[in-house]
Chain A
Amino acid sequence: MSQIVCDSSSIISLSENCLLNLLPRFKVDFVVPRSVEKELVDKPLRVDEFEFKALRLREAINEGIIQVKDVPGVHKRAEQILAEANSLFTPRIKILHEGEAECMAMLELTDVNTLLVDERTTRLIIEDIIALGNFIQSRASFKLRMDREKAMALQERFSDVTVLRSTELIAVAYEKGLLNNLGDGHLLHASLYALKYSGCAITKGEIKEYLQLLK
């Protein structure tokens, strides 16, 4: 079966809305690197407020809904990606984290070419790094310069990667009728907004587009 690499943001959005049980309904395996498992389970298990969420995620891993994948060389490759991403700007800013870099490293080191990610920066590094650079420069109150050539070279490494969000997953699930057990109602509208409010980087305009597309 083909695979999709997932980062923690997409898993959290889905889990918060009790949507992880949809994953086995698709003809793909959803995989995470070991570092993402640590972020999803090990750390929140130690916090009263999030212990139950971590237990549910651990259960999802134990049941194979999410699979933890160890890839040889992923740490070293992630370090290299981090070094490149985090030196794009002068002065330097650490735009990417180890967990996100490990997801990107998995994409480079395996034949998986789809990433499920809800947060914005990782997605833009892969899809439109210049737009990310412009965004960061516009938000800084200080002068910030981006090495555009280096940025394009980094993006180019992932040119065959498709980036999906949990919202794309839900849109496909909706169209396949996988949400029908929730009864009548504005299923698509409700689920897209639920994911947005859980942290998925989708705009209201995009949600409107989805509602037009799939009405």
Chain B
Amino acid sequence: MKKEFVEKLKKAFLHGDARGLKEISNESAEQAVLSRDKEMVLISLVSYALYKMLTKPHYHYAPGWSDFVKEVVSHLELCIKDPRAIQEALGKRLIEDIAKMDKLHGRFMGDLIERARVKQASRAYAMGLSLDSAAELTGADRFRLYAYIGRTRIHEEIPARSVRDRYERAKEVLG
């Protein structure tokens, strides 16, 4: 299954298919929730980071972009040939290449991979995992994740009790 995801990832990236990359990121995140497989998490993070880079012109008009594309494809092809290489090729080398590109040409403090961790952790939380379980899955920082979650509509979808009961109980407890 991982090999299939990486094949789809390579195809989407080469075709400049940002939407496809986002879908791959989301689907692999869902698989990661099930499997807690760190390599599936890596596929999700890398897909998301590449999706963001494809949607931002300042990356692909930057010097070094064509070399970066060649490196990405090379790492992905290695993983397709041998899925055992995913941890090294994606988890170390491709993430380093993305971080380097982001450091040179990115517009935000805080790198792209960290933002991917938060985004996909938020996805896992939206599926029902606890915040800490979601943070642990993707390696997202809790402070970043809580702040991000607070700005989404995730909590609007949960069943709610009457606040009166909760409030009355709080008054009893808090004195």
B130 within 8 A of A: yes
How big is the A interface, by class? 35 or more
Number of B interface residues at 8 Å Cβ cutoff, please give it.
Answer: 46
The reply to whether B175 and A119 form a contact with Cβ atoms under 8 Å apart is: no
CB <8 Å contact, B173 and A28: yes
A110 at the interface (CB under 8 A from B): no
B155 touches A121 (CB 8 A): no
- The answer to whether A65 has its CB under 8 Å from any CB of chain B is no
**Cβ-based interface call for A20 (8 A):** no
Is B73's beta carbon under 8 Å from chain A? Answer: no
Give the contact stretch, choosing among B10-18, B46-54, B95-103, B139-147: B139-147
Give the residue name and chain of the A residue nearest to B129 (CB). A95
> Which residues of chain B are within 8 angstroms of A140 by Cβ–Cβ distance?
30, 127
Q: Is B146's CB under 8 angstroms from A164's CB?
A: no
From B127, B160, B164, give the contact of A205 (CB < 8 A). B160
A199-B147, A202-B155 known; A121-B130 Cβ under 8 A:
yes
Which A-chain residue is minimally distant from B34 (CB atoms)? A91
B residues in contact with A175, CB < 8 Å: 171
The docked-state distance in angstroms from the alpha carbon of A141 to that of B164 is 35
Chain B residues within CB distance 8 Å of chain A: 30, 33-34, 36, 109-110, 125-133, 135-137, 141-147, 149-151, 155-164, 166-167, 169-171, 173-175
